[in-house]
Every structure is written in structure tokens, then in C-alpha cells.
Amino acid sequence: MKDLAALQALFQKEIDALQLGLAPDKLYDPMHYIMNLGGKRLRPVLALMGAGLYGDPSKAMPQAMAIELFHNFSLIHDDIMDAAPLRRGQDTVHMKWDENIGILSGDGMLVKAYQYVAQCSQKLLPEVLATFSKTAMEVCEGQQMDMDFETMDQVPLDMYINMIQFKTSVLLGCAMKIGALVGGATEEDAEALYEFALLLGTSFQIKDDYLDVYGDPEKFGKQVGGDILSNKKTLLWIEAEKRAALQRIDFSEYAAMPPNEDKVESFQELYKILDVDAFAKSEIDRYYQLSLEALDKVSLDLQTLAPLKEFAQWLHGRES
């Protein structure tokens, strides 16, 4: 994707030149460390794409940086809560330094994110800040919901969708909307673009659930079956538990299996027996199509919207 690669390169130049502060070094070094761990930079690119629909993508560069700072702040804190040793194949911040440094540097990144997102016209500032703050709170709510699911016997599917939208999708929507507003979009266009990115992000997260079970480990970039081994309540798990009860299959026996390769293979087979793999694919496609319908509400010509549709198609077809 030419447009995606160009915007990724444009944003990477900003990352390479990023200077958040020097001293105390134990406050700022972790910020620079996690910001340079790489990744696809999809969230900031969406902000740049939003602005680019109406002119110069770089007009939303401060807001794109704010989105990436917020995302990485949340990763530092998530890794502490999950006691995760690695992030993108490298030591997590709290492992490289310690938990207190991780907490404080993450807090600092949140402050920096607000400093960057506020770099827009006074006219747009209230709407931009309101959108960003609402999203930040929803991400926290989504994380808490995900943690609550660990101690719940059963999770309704609609509650799960709500959780992944808050934890993941709303930040994609926020990036798209804020970028569009800064670029010159009408309120109506900005809302339609928010809905597009929110729904596409929902499809993206369900695809992640699916790839965790059936993905190619070399393409997926991490261990297949990780969600199964940890009994994580994903869309496939929730739907399988419901269907197993209807077919008088003892789902608890599967859940209680030792966390090894046999458990992963047993769940892969169970999901196919219950047709849950096909259900997941249908939900991935459904939210993808809904996102395209939302894009149709935007008052721009097809040629202008073509890069966004191409981006959506690429994300929908991803295997990693």
C-alpha cells in the first residue's frame, strides 16, 4: 500500500526526531525506549489519513503523535498489570527498569499526549480535547472490563464486543476523527469517519482472536493458541461455550485441560465441530462491511476515499 507506507515513513521521521525530555533520565529514557520499539503505527497513520482527506496530512502530525504517545502509555501500564516480560520481542519497560519507573514514565507520556493533541486552533480545541478525553476514559473502562472477565464464569457476547471496542477500537476512531477535524472536515464527516474506524477496529480485533487460534505462527508473529492456553474469553471461546451447552458437550472439561499443545489442538477441533471458526469469520466480514457502509456517509468523492477503502481492505485481509 503506497499511501500507508508513505504515511508510515512520514510519521517515523517524527519519531526519529522526537525529544520528550532529557532529565531525569529514568523518567524520559523509558518514554523514548518504548516509542522506538516499532510497530505498524496504524493509529497515528489513521490521524494523518483523516487530515489527508481534506488537504495536507502533516496538519494533524501533533495529534498523530498524541495518539501514539497515549497508545504506548497504555502499553506500559498494561504490561505491568499483565506482568509481561516482552513487548515486540524486547524487554518491557518495567523489566528493563522497574515497575515504579514504568508507572511514572507512563503517566508522563499521558501528559505529553495532551500537550501534543492540544496543538490545534482555538476553534477546534474543545471538540478535539473532548473526543480525546472521552476515548482515554473508554480505553481505561475497556481494560477494567477485560480484567473483570477473568473472574466471570460466563461473558455475554455483546459485553465482549463492547469491551474490545472500548479497549481497542475507540482509539482508532478517535485518531480518524481528530485527524479529520484538524484537516477541515465537517462535524458530520468526522462522525462518519469515527464510525468507519471504530467498526474496522472491531473487525480487526476479532480477526486477532481468530488468528490466535488458526494463524500461521511465522506470519502472526507470536505463539498460536496463547488465548486458549490462558482460558481467555475471546469471541470464539464465548460462542463455543454457548454452543457446547446446547449440544451437551462438557466445555468445562476442555477448559480444565493442562496448558499444552494438546489443549490448543483440542480447542481448534472443538471450534470446528461447533462451527465457531466460521462464525468468527462471518463476524470479521460483517464488521468490515459495516465499516464500509459508514464510509459511504462521508461527503467526499470516491477517488478521495479510495485510499481509506484500500487501507480497510488491507487490514481485513491481514495475516499478522
**CA nearest neighbour of 202 among 165, 171, 156:** 165
- Kindly indicate the confidence band of residue 88, based on its pLDDT and cuts at 50, 70 and 90: confident
Question: Which of 34, 46, 44 minimizes the C-alpha distance to 312?
Answer: 46
| 214 CB-contact burial (10 Å; exposed 0-12 / middle 13-18 / buried 19+) | middle
pLDDT given at position 222: 65
Q: What is the mean pLDDT of the chain?
A: 96
Q: What are 272's three cell numbers? A: 470446528
**pLDDT at residue 216, rounded to an integer:** 83
H helix intervals, the chain: 2-16, 25-35, 42-52, 61-82, 93-96, 99-117, 125-149, 157-164, 170-183, 187-214, 217-220, 226-229, 235-246, 251-255, 261-273, 276-295, 302-316
* pLDDT for res 1: 53
Per-residue DSSP letter, 58: G
Class of residue 60 by CB neighbours under 10 A (exposed 0-12, middle 13-18, buried 19+): buried
- pLDDT bracket for residue 217 (50, 70, 90): confident
* Domains of the chain as residue ranges with CATH: 1-162+174-184 (1.10.600.10), 186-319 (1.10.600.10)
In contact, 132 and 170? CB cutoff 8 Å: no
Nearest to 199 by CA among 291, 107, 126, 132: 291
List the grid coordinates of 144: 477494567
What's the pLDDT band for 221 if we cut at 50, 70, 90? low
Annotate 61-118 with three-state secondary structure.
Answer: HHHHHHHHHHHHHHHHHHHHHHCCCEECCEECHHHHCCHHHHHHHHHHHHHHHHHHHC
* Interval 131-181: pLDDT, tens: 999 999 999 999 999 999 999 999 999 999 999 999 999 999 999 999 999
Confidence of residue 70 (pLDDT cuts 50, 70, 90): very high
At residue 271, the pLDDT reads 98
166-200: string of b/e by CB count within 10 Å (b at 16+)? bbbbbbbbbbbbbbbbbbebeeebbbbbbbbbbbb
Using a pLDDT cut of 90, give the percent of the chain over it: 92
pLDDT the model gives residue 318: 86
Q: What pLDDT was estimated at residue 176? A: 98
CA distance 174 to 25: 31
Q: Residue 2: pLDDT above 70?
A: no
- DSSP, collapsed to helix, strand or coil, labels residue 11 as helix
pTM of this prediction? Answer: 0.95
- 60 DSSP assignment: G
Q: What is the pLDDT of residue 201?
A: 97
